[in-house]
Amino acid sequence: MITCEESKTICSKNQYKEASWSERFNMYLHVLMCKTCFKFSRKNTKLTGLCNEASLQALSDTEKSELKNKLGQNS
């Protein structure tokens, strides 16, 4: 039996399709019994959907440090 914390972590991992078969099995078993984790799991999936929908863009670290250099902030 896994804890809620573990189940939520696996659920997050599963959002990136990187949870193993046994992890997924344990998580689903837990989610069946735990209402909080069930809600969390649904919301988490929705969050993934939202992130995809928003087509998020971000600057990479190198671009950011370049930007900092240009602004004269070396850190």
Partner 1 sequence: MNQEEKIRTLHQLNPTTWVDQYADYLYNYAISRVNDEELAKDLVQETFFAGLNSAKNFKGTASERTWLVAILKRKVIDHYRKSNSKKGKAEIRMSYNNDGEGSWLEEQIADPLSKSENDGIENEELGMAIHECISKLPSKQAKVFTMKTIHGMSTEDICNELSINPSNLWVLVFRARSSLMGCLNENWFAV
Rounded-to-integer distance, Cα 29 and Cα 55, Å: 32
Is residue 62 at the binding interface for partner 1, with CB under 8 A as the rule?
no
Question: Least CB distance from residue 55 to partner 1, whole Å?
Answer: 7
**Interacting positions 4-43 with partner 1 (CB under 8 A):** 8-13, 15-16, 18, 40, 43
Q: Among the residues of the chain, which ranges form H helices? A: 4-15, 21-33, 35-53, 61-70
The number of C-alpha atoms within 13 Å of 25 and in the hemisphere containing its C-beta is 3
Given the rule CB under 8 A, which residues bind partner 1? 8-13, 15-16, 18, 40, 43-44, 46-47, 50-51, 53-60, 63-64, 67-68, 70-71, 73, 75
